[in-house]
Structure 1
Amino acid sequence: MAMFVHLTSAANAPRIRRSGIRAAGDAQGGPRGVYCFPVLPSYTLTHQWLRELARSGSRGGLVAVHLRLDDGQRVSLGRYSDRVREIPAAIPAAEAVRRIAALEDPRGWEVFVPRAIRRGEVHRLRAAPQVVGWRYLPDAHGVRPCTCFGCRVRGGYGARRLLERLPHPLDGPPPPVRVLLARVAASGDPGDPVVLREVLHWFGTRRRGPLAQLARLAAHPDPGVREELVWAVARWSTPGVTELLDGLAGDPHPDVREAVEAIREP
């Protein structure tokens, strides 16, 4: 029997003791299953994913769930950057353990079991120290962090100070709202498309914005400005966004209509 460890929130421990580990999917529509890692002689390598998973938040910390799988259980194996969930289950669990144990540096590797873990396969649950493993990616310590919109963790510990210390040329921090609105006013009527697209880009990095002052851009003659307006307000919680997007959904230009459809896809 091959032994693996699955890290999960302590709040899930009672349910796992009752019925095992349920298969979970992801936002990209990949197969449902359970991520785990072989139990190796090195305690640190075995629990290497702990600090990275803890960044997403967990009630009561994380616990280590040891599970035994039949040696012939088909699993996927890959590094985190290989999108392991898309690799077909092609190797036995025992072979996955052998391959990872033979690696010179197994950090960042993971095993995906394409099904739920039954109660009888759960060997034990135990508390795990919350300071083991790497964060962000292996060898990230000492590397200048990226503050682009895709990499930064919004609301994370020290995120605001990091963004102020290492501003990204495209993703901020954005200029103050009053400065952006002044640029809109100075661009004239209907407004310079280049200036307006840049301003809307910065507004798109915010969670709320001055919708009343920007709503007139929905009638701008440049379709690029109208499309950028869609992306700018897409994540806003400001009242009136839905009505604005409803109007842009019937825009005569296909790029604008497709942008509205894209942000409304479930």
Structure 2
Amino acid sequence: MSRFQHVAAKLLLPVCALCLLGLDFGRAQDAGSSPAKQGGTVASSVNIEVDGQVLAVHMAGGDVAEALKVAGVELGEEDECSPALSEAIAPNMMITVRRVCTRTVVQQEPIRARTRVVPTRRLRAGITYIKQHPEDGLKELTYRVTWRDGKVAARELLGAQVIRPVKDKLILVGGESQKLPSRGGYFTGRRVMKMVATGYPAMVTGTGRTYLGLKAERGIVAVDPRVIPLGARVHVEGYGEALAADIGSAIKGNRIDLCFPTHREASRYGRKVVTVRILTP
């Protein structure tokens, strides 16, 4: 080889190497930009939403069941899957798995005792007697509860059974309720007195119940039991017939508190001196 040929070979060698490298680089770019293939088939991207996370897998065909298997997701007997397990894989498919669990749950709940007021002729008018003290009962309830992804989705009552019967508070009140004449007429009162009357709202206690356990509403009055017996029927001037079924720390002596449905009505009534008649059968 002549000197000229030797120099030319040295100059051309780097150029040829760059050409070869450029050819390989171009092929690598083309391979990177093409879709992923599995066994010569283009793979589809599939997302699986399960247990609070999203899993991504690539599938070259198959169905939803195969995708779950590839992702390592196992289904329980009650678990729900959408789309169906037999549905074919499609590009960018979203598979949703819901964990479902159904169990029978047994729980106990109290049966709250109530208060019953019963008139009787065996006691003198205006006299009250607690014949039976209250005692809450107990019942057992059986439910079928279904959870979906950790949250209660359905609750069905299957049955209920009383374990301990409830005992209501039973108050006997002497005499029987007597309605006043609708027009004119007269009062057959055993006792008539002047009293200081004020108004109080039904929900002043927060429970809406009186000392005797009755619902606080118009027609209920609070009294001093030493003056007017609890359970007695009374007639209050300007208010009407009422039942003495409540007490109060400020109700002492010849004072009477009249129940009204709202604060506004109670405030509007104010404070008055009225005639109160204790009714007799």
Normalized against structure 2, the TM-score is what?
0.21
Question: Greater CA radius of gyration, 1 or 2?
Answer: 2
Greater length-normalized contact order (CA 8 Å, ≥ 6 residues apart): 1
Q: Which has the higher helix share?
A: 1
Normalized against structure 1, the TM-score is what?
0.22
